[in-house]
């Protein structure tokens, strides 16, 4: 069927480059300072027989970063800069239509966070016209790494300068999804990664472009960024998707667009991470109120004010889905009208095993509280100079910490003043 | 009594026949020009001529070459755009701005506007240049357009209420994203163009060219669809022919790979390429028909262009007749009335009855009214002084004039800087892109390396100017901040 071919062609063009003997190679570069994870990843992909990673698209060393951001940023970075950028350049040259980078990293450790920040900065220097979105794993609140808050604030503040958009996924939230929605008893990293992959897939799988519904969008990253993060102060994005359940439950559930969208909207305004346990007692404030009382009302009822939202709908009868609920001006900040702040992408083709699915990419106050908490904890540690010598040893001075605190406080304040 | 003999004035006879011809030539020389009948009806201000004239004016005034997207705009939108374009060009007649936008009346005003445009510049020739079919891949290298004067003044916009600076920052950010996407698209185009030139080496009959251009390759790949693309005049300066054929609406999902497959199949067959088209082909194959049709299509397009050219020449020969006729049209219009003075204020009607009390009340009311008027005047004057007459008043226009002159001076300085540092001045007009082996370039050919060098030096000049202006801004900000005690200025972390 023509539609099938078009979809496949779009997927192929976007995610894979061509290969001689028919096996597509992913357009990806893997970087790690330890070999274990990369080897696992490579073999798992090759096992499927459907695609694989390029042999020369990996860079790894034997020695890690010891969960030290400074080591990743100031030692590994400059040392391996040339090799890593060379690999990246080769991949970029393979692209006919190159628009930007999607960088997946964590912020609690040393390599993902420090080296990731370093590489992103290099990309900004060498490919200044390209778009950059960093997908960042927000560590567990009770994580194992003592200095994870230091690593986090250093990562976030540096990325805020060199990246265009930060797509943040909280480990705690995903853990809950696995436990409550998927009913998994022993949650492994593999389960967490599956949920992540599902969320990312539901955003970045091909969608029809707005002009004609026979044409798959060729620059999803650019379109998404233009809708959500044009303002340099507001770059934090989060993803919420619905439905998300185990195969068993799926067999017994039917979905309507009205139901899905109502849930999704409530998730947005009550700052819920997933479908269950949504706070039903949060409503948007009355639009006639002056801004000051609006803010206090929000703070009391945990209302989540949005700057901009993008809803992506995939599945049967998608044209009939009514998204008017997301165009309520009460959901948004005063300086952006819903007509500019809200966008919806609809595609007939279903995603994964869900007959109908919806995902919301949101630039809103979702992450203000977690960010504020991390900054607070990091500040407390910093005030007592705990572990700082680990960082100054490798060139990250107290000044750099102070700069980071300042930038992030500014971000928190900007988001709070919506 | 016999029949009265009418004196035949040969000049009058010539005039009588010449006018329809002149108008017909004009209409043929303009893109989708309306019939001469429309012109005649417009002279008498008939409503049925109005929408055709709005559409013609829109075609003439719109800066982009016509495409499907533009043609499908509603009449109201087209009319509004025409009004604003004419206003920004300084069109003097107020009656046009007041016409309704639904095409119900005003055809005579529109006819006057059209003739105003025709009198100002060579409109048919400009439209012809826009719709030209370039056979090769072209680009311009001179930067004259970039240094031209800053363009028409922006229309006067009044903000409703205070504007949140965050909204402005949001819009700026969107513009920046669009800009980056534009740069990426141009890079993509260059890469693909290079591939086409490389892969079709040796395919062209013209030895000096040796490879196909995008238009030629597209003609081979998709004979029927191809001509619609370039014939619409969309192909201009490295423009849209190629992406259009790549992301073709007719064949969803066709990507670069399918294009190459198609093209390779075509190139593999012997005798299928431009150099051989004049020679008789094997009539048995369907390939004969599929080969000739792209060239038939091209021929048709070139013939259409020729017809337009001839129409333009005919128009130039006979335009005097048209202008004399336009004088009569102008004569039938009522003289323009100057804009009405501000509305008189309506005072409440007080009956003229006698009675001392009423008189007192009347006098008090009048005094109160006087007082209010004076107070309002004072406040307005104070506000204007404070707001610096934003957007209005002699101060504002003086400030704008000063800033325009400053900008023009900067541009002039920049031009000099370029001429000094760069190489020889680049020739004007579009150049055809041809890929050649090293050392094979002729004397009159412009080498890419030279152009790149010149552009780089121009870029360096511009960057120097940018850095200087940024430094000035920073100093100004520091000065403003310093003037306010108690304000802490935290500049963003620079690198």
Determine the average pLDDT of the residues in B406-412. Answer: 82
Q: What whole-number distance in Å separates Cα of residue A365 and Cα of residue A306?
A: 6
B313-320: long-range pairs with CB below 8 Å, 24+: B314/B21, B314/B25, B314/B28, B314/B29, B315/B22, B315/B25, B315/B26, B315/B28, B315/B29, B315/B124, B317/B25, B318/B18, B318/B21, B318/B22, B318/B25, B319/B22, B319/B26
* A275-284, B39-48, B159-168, B228-237: least confident range: B228-237
Determine the average pLDDT of the residues in B268-276. Answer: 43
User: Which of the two residues, B393 and B346, has the higher pLDDT score?
Assistant: B393
Tell me how crowded residue A378 is: count the other CB atoms within 10 A of its CB.
22
What are the pLDDT digits (tens) for B99-108?
Answer: 888 888 888 8
Q: Which pLDDT band holds residue B129 (cuts at 50, 70, 90)? A: confident
> What is the pLDDT at residue B492?
65
Domain boundaries, given as residue ranges, for chain A:
236-284+299-367, 370-417
* B41-50, B160-169, B313-322, B329-338: least confident range: B329-338
Determine the average pLDDT of the residues in B191-204. Answer: 80
Q: What whole-number distance in Å separates Cα of residue B465 and Cα of residue B463?
A: 5
CA distance A3 to chain B (A): 8
Determine the average pLDDT of the residues in A392-409. Answer: 94
Among the partner residues B167, B180, B495, nearest to A336 by beta-carbon distance: B167
The tally of CA atoms less than 13 A away on the side-chain side of residue A283 is 4
Which residues in chain A have their CB less than 8 angstroms from residue B495's CB?
A: 161
Is B230's pLDDT higher than 90? no
> What is the pLDDT at residue B288?
36
Q: What whole-number distance in Å separates Cα of residue A277 and Cα of residue A263?
A: 11
φ and ψ at residue B139, rounded to 5 degrees: -155, 155
Average pLDDT of chain A, as a whole number = 88
User: Which of the two residues, A377 and B80, has the higher pLDDT score?
Assistant: A377
Tell me if chain B has a CB within 8 Å of the CB of A337: no
Tokens 């930060």 appear where?
A166
Tell me if chain B has a CB within 8 Å of the CB of A96: yes
Which residues in chain A have their CB less than 8 angstroms from residue B192's CB?
A: 96
Determine the average pLDDT of the residues in B385-402. Answer: 68
At a CB cut-off of 8 Å and minimum separation 6, what does A72 contact? A33, A65, A109, A110, A111, A112, A113, A114, A115, A116, A117, A118
Is B398's pLDDT higher than 50? yes
> What is the pLDDT at residue B352?
54
> What is the pLDDT at residue B360?
82
Q: What whole-number distance in Å separates Cα of residue B398 and Cα of residue B253?
A: 56
Determine the average pLDDT of the residues in A113-124. Answer: 95
User: Which site among A12, A206, A226 would you substitute to test the B interface, given the most B Cβ atoms closer than 10 Å to its Cβ?
Assistant: A226
> What is the pLDDT at residue A97?
84
Is B34's pLDDT higher than 90? no
Is A63's pLDDT higher than 50? yes
* A89-103, A208-222, B149-163, B377-391: least confident range: B149-163
Determine the average pLDDT of the residues in B302-307. Answer: 85
pTM of the predicted protein model: 0.71
* A27-36, A192-201, A249-258: least confident range: A249-258
> What is the pLDDT at residue A239?
94
> What is the pLDDT at residue B122?
86
Q: Hey, are the CB atoms on B188 and A97 less than 8 Å from each other?
A: yes
Q: Is the dihedral of CA B255, B257, B262, B267 positive or negative?
A: positive
The tally of CA atoms less than 13 A away on the side-chain side of residue A181 is 21
Is B132's pLDDT higher than 80? no
What are the pLDDT digits (tens) for A88-118?
Answer: 999 998 888 888 999 999 999 889 899 999 9
Q: What whole-number distance in Å separates Cα of residue B484 and Cα of residue B479?
A: 9
DSSP label of A354: B
Determine the average pLDDT of the residues in B300-313. Answer: 86
Tell me if chain B has a CB within 8 Å of the CB of A254: no
SS3 A185: coil
Q: Is the dihedral of CA A191, A197, A203, A209 positive or negative?
A: negative
Given a contact cutoff of 8 angstroms between Cβ atoms, the answer to whether B433 and B137 are in contact is: yes
Q: Hey, are the CB atoms on B176 and A230 less than 8 Å from each other?
A: yes
Is A180's pLDDT higher than 60? yes
Is A385's pLDDT higher than 90? yes
Q: Hey, are the CB atoms on B174 and A226 less than 8 Å from each other?
A: yes
Is A298's pLDDT higher than 50? no
Among the partner residues B178, B184, B249, nearest to A99 by beta-carbon distance: B184
Q: Hey, are the CB atoms on B249 and A5 less than 8 Å from each other?
A: no
Among the partner residues A99, A222, A231, nearest to B169 by beta-carbon distance: A231
Which residues in chain A have their CB less than 8 angstroms from residue B166's CB?
A: 231, 233, 335
> What is the pLDDT at residue B285?
35
**Percent of chain A residues past pLDDT 90, beyond the cut:** 60
* A114-123, A232-241, B359-368: least confident range: B359-368
User: Which of the two residues, A327 and B409, has the higher pLDDT score?
Assistant: A327
* A213-217, B5-9, B256-260, B397-401: least confident range: B5-9
User: Which site among B191, B196, B252 would you substitute to test the A interface, given the most A Cβ atoms closer than 10 Å to its Cβ?
Assistant: B252
> What is the pLDDT at residue B340?
41
> What is the pLDDT at residue B326?
87
Q: Hey, are the CB atoms on B253 and A129 less than 8 Å from each other?
A: no
> What is the pLDDT at residue B318?
87
At a CB cut-off of 8 Å and minimum separation 6, what does B340 contact? none
> What is the pLDDT at residue A68?
92
Is B490's pLDDT higher than 90? no
Tell me if chain B has a CB within 8 Å of the CB of A97: yes
Transcribe A298-338 into DSSP letters: HHHHT---EEEEEEEEEETTGGG---GGGG-GGGB-TTS-H
Q: Which pLDDT band holds residue B296 (cuts at 50, 70, 90)? A: confident
Tokens 């509305």 appear where?
B343
User: Which site among A5, A127, A335 would you substitute to test the B interface, given the most B Cβ atoms closer than 10 Å to its Cβ?
Assistant: A335
User: Which residue in B99, B109, B118 sits closest to B22, CA to CA?
Assistant: B118
Q: Hey, are the CB atoms on B166 and A335 less than 8 Å from each other?
A: yes
User: Does domain A236-284+299-367 sit in CATH 3.40.50.920?
Assistant: no
Given a contact cutoff of 8 angstroms between Cβ atoms, the answer to whether A225 and A308 are in contact is: no
User: Which of the two residues, B471 and A22, has the higher pLDDT score?
Assistant: B471
Average pLDDT of chain B, as a whole number = 71
Q: Which pLDDT band holds residue A300 (cuts at 50, 70, 90)? A: very low
> What is the pLDDT at residue B439?
67
Among the partner residues B181, B187, B495, nearest to A219 by beta-carbon distance: B181
At a CB cut-off of 8 Å and minimum separation 6, what does B89 contact? B120, B152
Q: Hey, are the CB atoms on A6 and B183 less than 8 Å from each other?
A: no
* A23-37, A215-229, B142-156: least confident range: B142-156
CA distance B380 to chain A (A): 28
Determine the average pLDDT of the residues in A47-52. Answer: 88
Most confident of A88-97, A269-278, B255-264: A88-97
Strands A342-347 and A306-315: parallel
Which residues in chain A have their CB less than 8 angstroms from residue B247's CB?
A: 215, 218
User: Which of the two residues, B435 and B10, has the higher pLDDT score?
Assistant: B435
Q: What whole-number distance in Å separates Cα of residue B394 and Cα of residue B60?
A: 34
User: Which of the two residues, A56 and A96, has the higher pLDDT score?
Assistant: A56
- What ipTM, to 2 d.p.? 0.89
Is B157's pLDDT higher than 60? no
What are the pLDDT digits (tens) for B315-341?
Answer: 888 888 888 888 888 888 766 654 443
Is B224's pLDDT higher than 90? no
> What is the pLDDT at residue B402?
84
> What is the pLDDT at residue B248?
35
Q: What whole-number distance in Å separates Cα of residue A404 and Cα of residue A206?
A: 37
Q: Hey, are the CB atoms on A231 and B166 less than 8 Å from each other?
A: yes
> What is the pLDDT at residue B355?
59
Given a contact cutoff of 8 angstroms between Cβ atoms, the answer to whether A394 and A71 are in contact is: yes
Domain boundaries, given as residue ranges, for chain B:
10-134+308-332
> What is the pLDDT at residue A293?
41
User: Which residue in B300, B193, B295 sits closest to B241, CA to CA?
Assistant: B193
Beta strands of B128-282 (E only): which ranges? 138-140
Size of interface A-B (CB pairs under 8 A): 87
CB < 8 Å from B in window 124-183 of A: 129-131, 161
Q: Hey, are the CB atoms on B252 and A130 less than 8 Å from each other?
A: no
Q: Which pLDDT band holds residue B193 (cuts at 50, 70, 90)? A: confident
Is A16's pLDDT higher than 70? yes
Is A270's pLDDT higher than 60? yes
**Percent of chain B residues past pLDDT 70, beyond the cut:** 63
Which residue numbers of B have CB closer than 8 Å to A's CBs?
A: 164, 166-167, 169-174, 176-178, 180-181, 183-184, 187-188, 191-192, 247, 249, 252-258, 490, 493, 495
């Amino acid at each position: 069927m023509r539609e099938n071919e078009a979809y496949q062609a779009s997927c192929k063009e976007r995610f894979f480059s061509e290969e001689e003997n028919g096996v597509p190679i992913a357009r990806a570069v893997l970087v790690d300072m330890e070999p274990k994870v990369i080897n696992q990843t490579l073999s798992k992909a090759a096992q499927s027989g459907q695609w694989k990673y390029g042999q020369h698209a990996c860079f790894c060393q034997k020695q890690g970063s010891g969960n030290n951001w400074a080591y990743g940023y100031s030692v590994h970075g400059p040392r391996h800069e040339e090799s890593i950028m060379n690999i990246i350049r080769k991949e970029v040259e393979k692209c006919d239509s190159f628009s930007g980078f999607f960088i997946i990293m964590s912020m609690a450790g040393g390599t993902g966070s420090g080296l990731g920040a370093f590489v992103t900065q290099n990309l900004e220097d060498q490919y200044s016209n390209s778009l950059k979105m960093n997908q960042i794993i927000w560590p567990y609140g009770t994580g194992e790494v003592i200095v994870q808050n230091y690593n986090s604030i250093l990562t976030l503040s540096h990325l805020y300068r060199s990246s265009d958009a930060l797509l943040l996924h909280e480990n705690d939230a995903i853990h809950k999804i696995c436990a409550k929605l998927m009913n998994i008893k022993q949650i492994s990293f593999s389960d967490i990664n599956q949920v992540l992959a599902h969320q990312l897939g539901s955003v970045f799988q091909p969608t029809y472009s707005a002009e004609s519904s026979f044409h798959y969008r060729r620059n999803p990253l650019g379109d998404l960024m233009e809708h959500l993060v044009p303002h340099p102060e507001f770059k934090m994005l989060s993803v919420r998707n619905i439905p998300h359940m185990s195969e068993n439950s799926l067999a017994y559930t039917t979905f309507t667009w009205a139901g899905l969208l109502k849930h999704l909207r409530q998730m947005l305004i009550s700052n819920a991470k997933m479908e269950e346990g949504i706070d039903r007692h949060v409503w948007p404030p009355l639009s006639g109120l002056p801004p000051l009382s609006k803010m206090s009302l929000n703070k009391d009822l945990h209302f989540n004010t949005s700057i901009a939202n993008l809803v992506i709908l995939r599945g049967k009868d998608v044209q009939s889905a009514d998204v008017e609920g997301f165009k309520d001006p009460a959901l948004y900040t005063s300086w952006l009208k819903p007509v500019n702040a809200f966008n919806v992408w609809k595609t007939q083709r279903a995603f994964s095993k869900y007959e109908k699915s919806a995902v919301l990419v949101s630039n809103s106050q979702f992450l203000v509280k977690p960010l504020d908490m991390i900054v607070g904890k990091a500040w407390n540690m910093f005030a007592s100079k705990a572990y700082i010598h680990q960082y100054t040893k490798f060139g990250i001075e107290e000044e750099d910490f102070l700069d980071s605190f300042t930038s992030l406080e500014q971000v928190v304040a900007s988001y709070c003043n919506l | 009594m016999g029949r009265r003999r009418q004196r035949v004035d040969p000049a009058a006879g010539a005039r009588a026949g010449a006018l329809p011809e002149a108008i017909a030539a004009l209409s043929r020389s303009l893109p989708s020009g309306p019939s001469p009948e429309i012109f005649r009806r417009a002279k008498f201000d008939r409503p049925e001529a109005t929408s055709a004239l709005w559409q013609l004016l829109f075609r003439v005034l719109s800066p982009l070459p016509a495409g499907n997207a533009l043609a499908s705009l509603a009449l109201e939108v087209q009319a509004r755009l025409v009004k604003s374009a004419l206003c920004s060009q300084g069109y003097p007649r107020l009656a046009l701005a007041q016409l309704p936008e639904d095409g119900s009346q005003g055809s005579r005003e529109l006819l006057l506007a059209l003739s105003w445009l025709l009198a100002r510049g060579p409109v048919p020739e400009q439209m012809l240049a826009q719709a030209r079919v370039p056979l090769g891949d072209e680009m311009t290298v001179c930067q004259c357009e970039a240094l031209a004067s800053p363009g028409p003044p922006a229309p006067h916009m009044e903000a409703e209420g205070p504007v949140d600076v965050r909204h402005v920052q949001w819009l700026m950010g969107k513009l920046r994203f669009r800009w980056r996407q534009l740069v990426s698209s141009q890079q993509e185009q260059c890469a693909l163009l290079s591939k086409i030139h490389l892969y079709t080496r040796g395919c062209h009959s013209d030895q000096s060219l040796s490879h196909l251009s995008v238009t030629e390759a597209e003609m081979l790949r998709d004979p029927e669809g191809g001509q619609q693309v370039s014939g619409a005049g969309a192909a201009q300066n490295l423009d849209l022919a190629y992406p259009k054929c790549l992301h073709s609406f007719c064949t969803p999902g066709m990507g670069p790979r399918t294009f190459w497959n198609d093209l390779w199949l075509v190139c593999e067959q012997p005798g299928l390429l431009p150099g051989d088209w004049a020679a008789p082909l094997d009539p048995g194959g369907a390939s004969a028909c599929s080969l000739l049709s792209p060239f038939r299509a091209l021929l048709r397009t070139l013939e259409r262009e020729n017809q337009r050219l001839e129409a333009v020449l005919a128009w130039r020969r006979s335009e005097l007749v048209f202008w004399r006729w336009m004088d009569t049209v102008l004569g039938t219009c009522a003289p323009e009335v100057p804009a009405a003075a501000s509305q008189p204020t309506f005072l409440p009607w007080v009956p003229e009855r006698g009675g001392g009390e009423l008189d007192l009340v009347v006098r008090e009311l009048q005094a109160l009214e006087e007082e209010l008027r004076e107070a309002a005047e004072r406040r307005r004057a104070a506000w204007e002084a404070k707001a610096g007459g934003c957007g209005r008043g002699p101060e504002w226009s003086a400030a704008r004039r000063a800033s325009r002159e400053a900008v023009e001076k900067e541009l002039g300085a920049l031009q000099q800087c370029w001429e000094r540092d760069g190489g020889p001045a680049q020739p004007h007009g579009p150049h055809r892109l041809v890929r050649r082996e090293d050392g094979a370039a002729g004397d009159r050919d412009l080498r890419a390396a030279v152009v790149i060098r010149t552009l780089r030096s121009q870029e360096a000049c511009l960057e120097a100017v940018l850095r200087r202006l940024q430094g000035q801004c920073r100093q100004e900000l520091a000065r403003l901040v310093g003037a306010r005690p108690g304000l802490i200025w935290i500049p963003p972390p620079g690198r």
